Structure 1
Amino acid sequence: MKSHLKVHYFQHIAGEGFGSCYEYLKQLAAQITATEFFALPLDRPLDIEALPTVEEVDLLIIMGGTMSVNDEANFPWLTVEKRWLRRYLSLGKPALGLCLGGQLIANALGAAVSRNSEQELGWSVVNKVKNISTECFELPHTINVMQWHSETFEIPKGAIHLAENDVCRNQMYQIGKNVLGFQFHPEITPETLSLFLKDEDELSKFAGQYVQTELSLRKTPKEKFQEGNKLLKEAIEYVLRRSAY
């Protein structure tokens, strides 16, 4: 692992920052920078040269967001972000995609992202896919994590399907040894969940048997966040170690 690790993250909505992994990355003395796509003017095209050069980034973390990866008409920077991702991933460098981030990596590599049959919002159990190679990222057999999505990714060509549940089959995948894509939110903390719950417009878009109430989510005990946070820390360690960055 590099002694001066340069970590960059893509943030798509205000308030959805690094979550639980920030303190861990600071322990590694990482230099942390960000691209805040939500702050960019929508009436002005984004030049790909305005983003960091791919060589400047040792670890990329792509956060979630309320938009669809397919909504390039309303969020034109999505096109540029996907182009940049293809450049970065072609070098075999480490990356993690969380919720929208996992969808973006998959879509940038040609996999479809579409509406899931059910919306998921709240805590749910995700299961490790059976018969995964021991060379893959090691998941627990079951893990209780935070979900917040209406859409789902197809597993990219050449990727390995790692996790699933009955509501949304594709919950996690791995590409090579350096990329992990999540449909759920392992980074969620009590503070970031509180910020999510302030967005009443976003909450109003969710309904169904797999959508938990705002009141129940506000009562989530702090220890419930630990499983996902631990998983994310292990995922960071894995992609850095296996890609030799």
Structure 2
Amino acid sequence: MKHLKVHYFQHIAGEGFGSCSTYLKSIGAQLSATEFFALPLDRPLEIEALPNIDEVDLLIIMGGTMSVNDEANFPWLKIEKRWLRRYLASGKPAIGLCLGGQMIATALGANVSRNPEQELGWTTVYKSAAVSKEHFQMPEEIEVMQWHSESFEIPKGGVRLAENAVCANQMYQIGKNVLGFQFHPEITPEVLDAFIENEEQEKVFQGTYVQSLATLKKSKAEQFYAGNQLLKHAIEYVLQAQGSSQTWSQLKIQKEC
């Protein structure tokens, strides 16, 4: 049986893939990554250097500290968006996490701009009233890890799945194959430690909706579980909904064989 080929776009060193990696390895997926953070900024990136779209079954776009609009300082952003438009036009499954959700949105023509308030830490998001039985099913409310100062508009044709009072657009769906998150469902204790180490150097722990460094360091193991499960279900959803050659049940069989 053909293995599921999952490709990651990674934007910062040390972030890793969070809970995505453990789950996808458990179902026998083959993982590969483009590490944009390792690319030299003084050398142009050719779009041909990115993966062949035909060889990617699922794309997961990770977070990052840069803005999607900062092409002057990170010139590879323009090429990443061009490749994304090609990939999304193919109708294949894609999941965007924080910056990743913003990248999908901006690649499809939606604006990404400064949110009125920075969100950093554990917050609750709520299922949007726009969600019907035809959409990915969110819990009525869920505690998640936020780490953003910008937010996306919902791309044309998309549906808002989750929201809160601080940031109206917390999650969206496009068709049956694309899910964009403003928050970090993939967060694990190890990834949170990397986030804290990176942000501690920049001293960004200030704001009405920013939790203190001391509070974040006391995060309990069970706080990570709900988001990790949500991401697992999101992966299953975009694969099954697209009529993937490997449904969730088939992947389980592959693991057991």
**What is the identity, as a one-letter code, of the residue corresponding to 1:74?**
N
Question: CA deviation digits over 1:9-45, x for unaligned, max 9?
Answer: 0000001121011111011111100000000000000
Whether contact under 8 Å (1:143, 1:227) holds in the other structure is yes
Residue of structure 1 in register with 2:37 after alignment: 38
Q: Which moved more, 1:23-32 or 1:64-73?
A: 23-32
The residue that corresponds to 2:59 in the other structure is: 60
CA distance in 2, matches of 1:31, 1:204: 37
Q: Which residue of 2 aligns with 1:99?
A: 98
The separation in 2 between residues aligned to 1:201 and 1:107, in whole angstroms, is 28
User: Quick check: 1:229 aligned with 2:228?
Assistant: yes
- Residue 207 of structure 1 and its aligned partner are, at CA, apart by 2.1
Are the counterparts in 2 of residues 178 and 242 from structure 1 also a CA contact under 8 Å? yes
What CA distance in whole angstroms lies between the structure 2 residues aligned with 1:121 and 1:175? Answer: 26
Equivalent-residue separation in structure 2 for 1:237 and 1:112 (angstroms): 28
Separation of aligned partners in 2, 1:160 and 1:167: 19
Counterpart amino acid of 1:119? Answer: Q
SS at match of 1:199: helix
User: Which TM-score applies when normalising by structure 1?
Assistant: 0.97
Q: Report the AA paired with residue 223 of structure 2.
A: K
Partner of 2:253: none
Deviations along 1:111-151, one digit per CA (max 9) or x if unpaired, are 00000000000000000001422110000000000000000
CA contact (8 A) 2:205 2:211 kept: no
Instruction: Give the alignment of 1:84-233 within 5 angstroms.
Output: 84-200=83-199, 203-233=202-232
Check conservation: 2:11, 2:36, Cα contact below 8 A: yes
Partners of 2:203 and 2:67 in 1: how far apart? 16
Same amino acid, percent of matched pairs? 70
Deviation at 1:199, TM superposition (A): 1.3
> Does structure 1 conserve the Cα–Cα contact (< 8 Å) formed by 2:18 and 2:186?
yes
Q: Deviations over 1:86-132 (max 9, x none)?
A: 00000110000000000000000000000000000000000000142
Distance in structure 2 (CA, Å) of the matches to 1:214 and 1:81: 33
DSSP-derived class of the 1:122 partner? strand
In 1: Cα distance, 2:119 partner to 2:202 partner: 11
Return the alpha-carbon distance in structure 2 between the equivalents of residues 32 and 238 of structure 1: 19
Q: Secondary structure at the match of 1:184?
A: coil
Single out whichever of 145-154 and 125-134 deviates more from structure 2: 125-134
Verify the 8 A CA contact 1:197 1:203 in the aligned structure 2. no
What CA distance in whole angstroms lies between the structure 1 residues aligned with 2:201 and 2:106?
Answer: 23
Unaligned runs of 5+ in 2: 245-257
Contact conserved, 2:130 with 2:160, CA < 8 A, in 1?
A: no
What SS does structure 2 have at the residue aligned with 1:238?
helix
Normalised to the residue count of structure 2, the TM-score between the two structures is 0.93
- Counterpart Cα distance in 2 of 1:175 and 1:70: 22
Provide the residue aligned with 1:16 in structure 2: 15
CA-to-aligned-CA distance 1:157-205 (integer Å, 9 cap, x gap) = 0001110000000000000000000000000000100111111456523
Distance 2:204 2:121 in 1: 14
Shift of 1:5: 0.3
Matched, 1:69 2:56: no
* 5+ long unaligned stretches in structure 1: none
Cα shift at 1:82:
0.2
CA distance, structure 2, for counterparts of residue 179 and residue 140 of structure 1:
18
Q: 1:202 to 1:165 in 2, by over 3 A?
A: farther
| 2:130–2:161 Cα contact (<8 Å) kept | no
| Number of residues of Structure 1 aligned to a counterpart in Structure 2 | 244
How far 1:206 sits from its partner (Å)? 4.5
